[in-house]
C-alpha cells in the first residue's frame, strides 16, 4: 500500500512538472510575440505648419491622428486594410517622446518581406471646425518598423480624389528614405506624381488599374491622349497594358462591371483587336544613314527585280519587321516608320 501511495505521488509530481513546463513554454512564446509586436511600431509627429494652419494640438484631446496602411500591388493576397480613420487606425501619443505611434506589428502581424505597402498619416480635429490634413502615399516595407515619418510643406493631388491636396512625407532613416519614398502614383485624372516606384511594383498593372478605376468614371479620362501620355510617363507600352488588363480583370470584363476590351483599346489609342508592337531592325536599305521613304522605294524595286547594279542596297537592313523574310511587309513597315505611324 505504501509503495502504491509513493508511486501515485511521483506520477502526480511528474504531471505537474510537465504542465508547468508547458505553461512556461506557452508564456515564453506569448511574451516573445508580444515583445516582437511592441518593436514593430512606426512614429509620427504633427508638423508645426499643420499646427499653425489647421489648429491641431500635439498630443491634445481635441486632435486625433490616424495611420492608414494599404497594399501596393497584389503580392500579399491575404492583406486587408482597415476602413479610413476608424478605431483600428488610431495612433497613441507618447508624452515621454512627444511622438504619436502606431502598433503596426499588432494591427498587421503578417506583413510580407517581399510585398509592397504604403502608409498615410492623417490628423483631424474632433471639435471646432473639424479641420483635417493628410500625408501623400509613402511607400513602406517591413524594414521601416521603428522608423518615423516626417512631413514637408509641399503638396500633391490626393490619388483617390484629385480635388483634395496631400502633403509629402518621408522616412527619417536615410536607408529607408533611399529605398522608399513618396509613391509614383497615378491620380484619378491620369496625372503621374511622386518620386519612387515600389520595389516589387508592376508598372503595367498600375496603368491597367487606372483604366479599371477611373477611365469610365471621369469623362475627361475617355480621351485616348490621357492614357497614351500616361503610358509614356510611366514607361510602358499601351499594348502591354491592354494584355495585362484583359488577363487580370477577365471576370470583371465578362460581368460588364468595368470597361470592355474594345473600349479599353480605344482609351489606349489602339485598334481593335490590337496587334503586338512590331520589333524593327535596320531599315536603311540604301545605306544613306537614314530610314525614310527612299528605303521603301529601294526595297520595292529590289523585290520587283527592277533594280540595277548601280543602286545601293544592303540586304542585312531589309528585314525591317524581323519576321525572317524580306517581302512587301517590310516595305509597308518602313513606310509607316517614315511617317511616324509605327
Residue 38 scores a pLDDT above 60: no
In this predicted structure, what is the pLDDT of residue 5? 42
**Same domain flag for 81 and 108:** yes
More confident residue, 280 or 57: 57
- Asked whether residue 237 is assigned to any structural domain, the reply reads yes
Q: In a 3-state reduction of DSSP, which class is residue 171?
A: strand
Distance of alpha carbon 80 from the chain centroid = 16
Q: Tell me if 3 is assigned to some domain.
A: no
Compute the distance between CA of residue 325 and CA of residue 142 in angstroms, rounded to an integer: 52
Q: Is the residue at 12 inside a domain?
A: no
Same domain (yes/no): 220, 188: no
Report if residue 24 sits inside a domain. no
Ramachandran quadrant class, 119 (left: phi over 0; alpha: psi -120 to 50; beta: rest): beta
| Average pLDDT of the residues of the chain | 88
Query: Which of 167, 193, 219 finishes a domain?
Result: 193
Residues 208 and 243 in one domain: yes
Mark whether 189 and 50 lie in a shared domain: yes
Q: Supply the pLDDT for residue 36.
A: 55
Q: 279 lies in a domain?
A: no
- Let me know if residue 283 belongs to a domain: no
Say what the pLDDT of residue 193 is.
94
Q: How far apart are the first and last CA of the chain?
A: 101
Q: Which of 267, 302, 319 is the last residue of a domain?
A: 267
The answer to whether 227 and 211 have CB atoms below 8 angstroms apart is yes
Domain that holds residue 155: 42-193
Q: 223 and 160, same structural domain?
A: no
Residue 6 within any structural domain of the chain: no
Q: Please, which pLDDT band fits residue 60 given cuts at 50, 70 and 90? A: very high
Q: How many domains does the chain have?
A: 3
Looking at per-residue confidence, does 129 or 141 come out higher? 141
Strand partners, 90: 66
73: left (phi over 0), alpha (psi -120 to 50) or beta: left
- What mean pLDDT is predicted for residues 82-90? 97
Q: Which of 161, 193, 225 marks a domain boundary?
A: 193
Asked whether residue 129 falls in the same domain as residue 207, the answer is: no
What pLDDT digit, counting tens, does each position of 292-321 carry?
999 999 999 999 988 888 889 999 999 988
Q: Are residues 61 and 168 in the same domain?
A: yes
pLDDT of 8 > 60? The answer is: no
Are 130 and 239 found together in one domain? Answer: no
C-alpha triplet 104, 120, 35: angle, nearest 5°: 10
**Domain check: are 187 and 254 in the same one?**
no
- Verify that 104 and 162 share a domain, yes or no: yes
**Residues 57 and 161 reside in one and the same domain:** yes
Residue 66 lies in a domain: yes
Tens of pLDDT along 278-297?
777 899 999 999 899 999 99
Residues 117 and 252 in one domain: no
**Residue 217 — pLDDT band, cuts 50, 70, 90?**
confident
Amino acid at each position: 500500500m505504501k509503495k502504491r501511495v509513493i508511486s501515485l505521488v511521483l506520477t502526480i509530481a511528474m504531471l505537474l512538472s510537465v504542465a508547468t513546463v508547458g505553461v512556461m513554454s506557452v508564456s515564453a512564446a506569448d511574451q516573445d510575440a508580444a515583445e516582437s509586436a511592441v518593436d514593430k511600431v512606426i512614429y509620427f509627429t504633427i508638423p508645426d505648419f499643420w499646427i499653425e494652419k489647421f489648429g491641431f494640438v500635439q498630443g491634445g484631446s481635441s486632435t486625433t491622428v490616424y495611420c492608414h496602411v494599404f497594399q501596393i500591388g497584389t503580392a500579399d493576397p491575404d492583406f486587408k486594410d482597415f476602413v479610413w480613420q476608424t478605431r483600428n487606425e488610431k495612433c497613441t501619443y507618447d508624452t515621454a517622446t512627444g511622438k504619436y505611434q502606431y502598433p503596426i506589428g499588432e494591427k498587421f502581424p503578417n506583413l510580407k518581406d517581399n510585398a509592397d505597402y504604403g502608409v498615410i498619416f492623417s490628423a483631424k480635429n474632433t471639435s471646432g471646425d473639424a479641420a483635417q490634413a493628410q500625408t501623400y502615399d509613402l511607400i513602406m516595407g517591413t524594414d521601416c518598423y521603428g522608423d518615423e515619418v516626417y512631413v514637408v510643406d509641399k503638396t500633391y493631388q490626393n490619388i483617390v480624389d484629385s480635388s483634395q491636396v496631400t502633403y509629402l512625407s518621408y522616412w527619417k532613416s536615410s536607408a529607408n528614405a533611399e529605398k522608399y519614398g513618396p509613391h509614383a502614383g497615378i491620380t484619378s485624372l491620369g496625372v503621374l506624381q511622386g518620386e519612387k516606384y515600389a520595389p516589387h511594383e508592376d508598372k503595367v498593372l498600375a496603368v491597367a488599374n487606372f483604366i479599371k478605376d477611373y477611365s469610365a468614371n471621369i469623362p475627361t479620362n475617355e480621351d485616348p491622349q490621357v492614357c497614351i501620355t500616361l503610358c509614356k510617363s510611366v514607361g510602358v507600352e499601351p499594348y502591354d497594358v491592354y494584355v495585362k488588363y484583359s488577363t487580370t480583370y477577365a471576370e470583371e470584363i465578362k460581368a460588364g462591371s468595368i470597361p470592355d476590351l474594345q473600349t479599353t483599346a480605344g482609351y489606349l489609342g489602339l485598334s481593335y483587336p490590337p496587334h503586338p508592337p512590331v520589333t524593327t531592325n535596320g531599315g536603311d536599305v540604301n545605306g544613306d544613314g537614314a530610314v525614310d521613304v527612299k528605303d521603301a522605294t529601294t526595297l520595292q524595286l529590289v523585290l520587283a527585280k527592277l533594280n540595277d547594279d548601280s543602286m545601293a542596297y544592303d540586304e542585312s537592313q531589309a528585314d525591317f519587321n524581323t519576321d525572317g523574310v524580306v517581302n512587301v511587309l517590310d516595305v509597308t513597315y518602313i513606310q509607316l516608320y517614315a511617317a511616324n505611324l509605327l
